[in-house]
């Protein structure tokens, strides 16, 4: 059974009715178990669980120490280009936005890489807008060949690809992919992606599995939180991660929790998620999937990210620039979104040390 089939089978579930009926005993039962089922996961996502947040945090802390130890892995994003063929309503890079468009030359790419590498970062996430014409697979492949000289781990966050295309990039040196479904509500997905190749819901949904089939070392998924009910989106993100983890046990599966903030181009999320709800969501995900990685980006404020250390997060971005060429020539182009944590890599490392944890700059290298 594909994940699309699994998602369709759950889509008719009465989530709102379930959440209204959750009792304290349901939360206690979930917290007493070592392995949670889907209804336990939903109980911990419910508003009723907010009254048990300290117990959730304590258990989550124990789980993360057991499975990951006292470490937080750091990486930095590097934008190759912001050309895009899509009209995603929430994105600063969408085709219809009147912004400065740019693609890095290879000399500019080397300059960006040198600046990031000087901070000690050895894990990089390269991103593009979704334009096969401006940033084709061949361009991404050549970029990876350059970046291999500076970084030991290279992940991509680009358009959905075929198994063959992922295989080409893996051979070039890519070992990770981040690809967000944005929303698991198929009707909403079509509404927020009115034009462009990304409008194909199923091709997007199956892309992480194609990356797994190609032999990608690590795969990160998630929903763009704020487009709809965060509880439902977190539930489906968890189901998707569990599906991939069970089918591909040798691959490192992670879930990112990008909370929508105002974007370049004037978009503001209609569904706002309070910090307390965000924490409950992360804790529920950690307890449902003890071995999954959880990533928190610089969309979140420094103090908030600091308080999440030890509660479930395993990976953080640091020193992020969301403009193309942003490390060497800030503000030469528009950023994809506004970063809330402006801390340098050094400051993020110091924050992690202050919490009694170890910042990890390098944890993998191809041999």
Can you give the CATH number for the domain in which 90 is found?
3.20.20.70
- The string of pLDDT tens digits covering residues 218-265 is 999 999 999 999 999 999 999 999 999 999 999 999 999 999 875 545
Domain assignment present for 29: yes
Domain assignment present for 367: no
Domain assignment present for 366: no
Query: For residue 337, what pLDDT is reported?
Result: 63
CA distances 26 to 15, 22, 59, 70, 201, Å, are: 15, 6, 16, 30, 34
Mean pLDDT across the stretch 46-70? Answer: 97
Query: For residue 332, what pLDDT is reported?
Result: 54
| Least-confidence region, from 96-100, 298-302, 341-345 | 96-100
Q: Is the pLDDT of residue 295 over 70?
A: yes
Mean pLDDT across the stretch 208-223? Answer: 98
Report the C-alpha gap between 187 and 176 in whole angstroms.
Answer: 29
Element spanning 220, H or E: strand 218-221
Q: How many folded domains does the chain comprise?
A: 1
Domain assignment present for 365: no
Domain assignment present for 292: yes
Report the share of the chain in percent with pLDDT over 70.
95
258 bridge partner residues: none
Q: Which of 343, 266, 332 is nearest to 298 (CA)?
A: 343
Query: For residue 340, what pLDDT is reported?
Result: 84
Report the C-alpha gap between 51 and 313 in whole angstroms.
Answer: 21
Domain membership of residue 215 as a residue range: 3-360
Report the C-alpha gap between 93 and 101 in whole angstroms.
Answer: 9
Helix axes 201-214, 230-247, angle to 10 degrees: 30
Report the C-alpha gap between 239 and 205 in whole angstroms.
Answer: 13
Q: Is the pLDDT of residue 311 over 90?
A: yes
- The string of pLDDT tens digits covering residues 131-184 is 999 999 999 999 999 999 999 999 999 999 999 999 999 999 999 999 999 999
Q: What is the pTM of this model?
A: 0.95
3-state secondary structure 121-183: CCEEEEEECCCCCCCCHHHHHHHHHHHCCCCCEEEEECCCCCHHHHHHHHHHCCCEEECCCEC
Domain assignment present for 216: yes
Cα distance from N-terminal residue to C-terminal residue, the chain: 35
């Amino acid at each position: 059974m594909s994940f699309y089939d699994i998602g369709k089978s759950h889509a008719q579930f009465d989530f709102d009715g379930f959440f209204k009926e959750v009792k304290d005993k349901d939360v206690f039962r979930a917290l007493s178990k070592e392995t949670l089922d889907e209804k336990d996961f939903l109980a911990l996502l419910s508003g009723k669980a907010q009254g048990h947040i300290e117990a959730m945090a304590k258990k989550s802390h124990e789980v993360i120490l057991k499975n990951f130890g006292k470490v937080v892995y750091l990486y930095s994003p590097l934008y190759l280009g912001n050309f895009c063929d899509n009209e995603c309503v929430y994105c600063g890079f969408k085709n219809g936005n009147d912004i400065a468009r740019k693609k890095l030359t290879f000399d500019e790419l080397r300059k960006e890489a040198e600046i990031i590498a000087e901070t000690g970062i050895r894990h990089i996430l390269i991103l593009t807008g979704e334009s096969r014409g401006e940033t084709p697979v061949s361009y991404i492949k050549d970029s990876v060949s350059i970046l291999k000289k500076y970084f030991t781990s290279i992940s991509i966050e680009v358009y959905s690809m075929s198994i063959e295309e992922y295989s080409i990039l893996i051979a070039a040196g890519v070992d990770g992919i981040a690809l967000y479904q944005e929303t698991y509500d198929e009707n909403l997905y079509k509404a927020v992606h009115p034009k462009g190749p990304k409008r194909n819901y199923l091709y997007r949904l199956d892309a992480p599995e194609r990356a797994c089939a190609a032999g990608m070392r690590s795969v990160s998924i998630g929903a763009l939180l704020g487009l709809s009910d965060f509880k439902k989106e977190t539930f489906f993100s968890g189901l998707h991660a569990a599906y991939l983890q069970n089918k591909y046990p040798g691959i490192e599966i992670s879930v990112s929790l990008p909370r929508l903030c105002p974007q370049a181009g004037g978009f503001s999320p209609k569904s706002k998620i309070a910090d307390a709800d965000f924490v409950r969501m992360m804790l529920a995900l950690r307890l449902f999937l003890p071995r999954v990685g959880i990533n928190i980006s610089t969309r979140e404020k420094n103090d908030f990210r600091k308080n999440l250390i030890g509660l479930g997060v395993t990976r953080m971005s640091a020193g992020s620039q969301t403009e193309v060429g942003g490390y060497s020539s800030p503000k030469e182009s528009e950023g994809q979104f506004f970063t809330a944590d402006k801390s340098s890599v050094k400051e993020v490392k110091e924050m992690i040390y202050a919490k009694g944890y170890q910042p990890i700059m390098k944890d993998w290298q191809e041999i």
